[in-house]
Structure 1
Amino acid sequence: MNRFVIADPELCIGCNTCMAGCSAVHKKQGLQVLPRLTVVKVGDKTAPMMCRHCEDAPCARVCPVNAITREKDAVVLNESLCIGCKLCGLVCPFGAITPSGSKPVDTPALLQNMVPEALLRDVPGSAPGTNPYLAWNAGIRPVAVKCDLCAFQEEGPECIRVCPTNAIHLVNNTAIGQSNNEKRLRAISMLSNTISPAEYQEGEK
């Protein structure tokens, strides 16, 4: 199975530290600065929503240039291959991919300035606050942004490391096995506390 990060809304306090940490480490790597997760509030609960690295990832299936692939049990996006078509974000069932305008890392020098600056001076840009899927600014290339599990650092996802309440966890085969075992033990404990052996045998008749 693919690894992914998930948050517990019972523990999340909506401090946005995860978003700030995500932005900082990716900026340091020369990648898109936009956070790969978004803290969402529903009622009195908050939790960051991020990519679930789907097994049959629709974003990878619709990408026309194969910029999104499966590597090391994760769905990863190569920012330098992205052409900014925004199809991946439109099909993501979690709204976890957002286009952001800037220059991606490793872009060939020959593509850095495709339009002469003199021709861009009088071209109107998008109004402030325009939805990123509709925004258009001359000379700025939109690039898809999604969770990469901070594969570039040994500590793993930065959001997990900086969360002050330990609300964010990495889900993998080991974590799922431990969780299932805990649930079984909890269920057995609850049964043993509420049903006597005699009652259980009577119910089996």
Structure 2
Amino acid sequence: MSTQEAEQFSPQSAPKPALRSVREKDGKYFEIASFTPNNNPSTKHAFSGMIKIAEDQDRVFAYGFIHDRKDGSGRKVISLNAHMTDQASGEQGYKQIATGSVVNHRGDGKDVYFDTVLFNRVDGKGNNLGGEPIAVFVTDNCPDDLHAGLGFAEKRIPRPPKDTAEQADEAGAGRPRGPRM
């Protein structure tokens, strides 16, 4: 392999995730989700990548689609679809595995940074399976058009360092809250 070919396939040339989630467990960090924007105008998905939908399952490759909500509110709903095999029939096809929405306000009054998408697992019919939502965060590599397309009400606000954020929460101070909807 030539040097030029090696550079083409180096980690530095790999697409950087626009949406990502990392969790800590027992002092180790594990990537739960990593999505890159779609750069192919002939396909309809907004982003694609890997996500661990359940603790007892491996990560799956999923496509993210953004739709307007049916209630006419102008808000967006995000669906994750993955290529799956039906265990009963052996049929293969794409199936919705999660639905998500962005966090533009919080009921608990805490700060909003316009960088969080919460995904909920769904069954084959789109019914919520419950459990803890999967929080996926917008990274610095997220293009502005994808950020806006996801349905965020404002541009992303950088999060303060963790120590500063905890002190601000304790003091009742901090960044302005997100808009109420």
Scaled by the length of structure 2, the TM-score of the pair is 0.27
Scaled by the length of structure 1, the TM-score of the pair is 0.25
Higher helix share: 1
